[in-house]
Amino acid sequence: MPLLESEAPRDPFALFDRWFREAAAAGALQPDAMTLATSGEEGVSARMVLFKGIEDGAFLFYSNYGSRKGRDLAWYRGAALVFYWAVTRHQVRVSGAVRKLGRPQTQEYFRSRPRGAQLSALASHQSHLVRSREILEKRVAELDARYPDEVPLPNDWGGYALRPNWIEFWENREDRLHDRLRYTWRASTGAWRIERLAP
């Protein structure tokens, strides 16, 4: 069934939520995986990160501030996301401005992570050169012994929120006459405008 403007929700987050749930229900392998594209002094770069929800109209994710993505986002506060769920033949593209989340919110999320993930975040200076895996494993073991109860939140680790300027929904068609609907935020009207793009 075609993706039609007349039947699409006026709120793009409602359509995103529907597609995200459909992908998970259909057995998509890690439906929360998304590509994050950034631009910085070193050029453009893209990598997979984990989507951690939508809050106040923004897509959330977490990372090391000293990583390539962290350096890029400090240099240019814009980024793009891509979700692709082959099992449901859907793609969602997002572009917008990025801001850091507050320390209390980051702390709350950090405490919800498994202990191993907490220790890895504290031990790893993401994107920096390291001589061997053994060095990383030794560092994790040292931190595990040093903090038997609670792992402290690293100073160089935290959350980001990407607030979209536009969100594009793509649905595959066998004849390659794919459906593409783009929601663009209009600050002047305080509403989303829906446009159809040629495939």
Catalytic residues, which ones? 176
**Tokens 């980001």, residue located:** 160
Residues 6+ apart with CB under 8 A from 57: 13, 163, 164
DSSP per residue over 116-168, as a string?
A: HHHHHHHH--TTS--S-HHHHHHHHHHHHHH-SS-PPPPTTEEEEEEEEEEEE
Dihedral sign of CA atoms 47, 105, 166, 34 in order: positive
Two tokens, residue 159: 């959350």
How far is CA 51 from its chain centroid?
4
Helices (H), strands (E): how many in the chain? Answer: 5, 9
Which of 71, 147, 151, 67 shows the shortest CA–CA distance to 117?
Answer: 151
Distance CA 60, CA 50 (A): 9
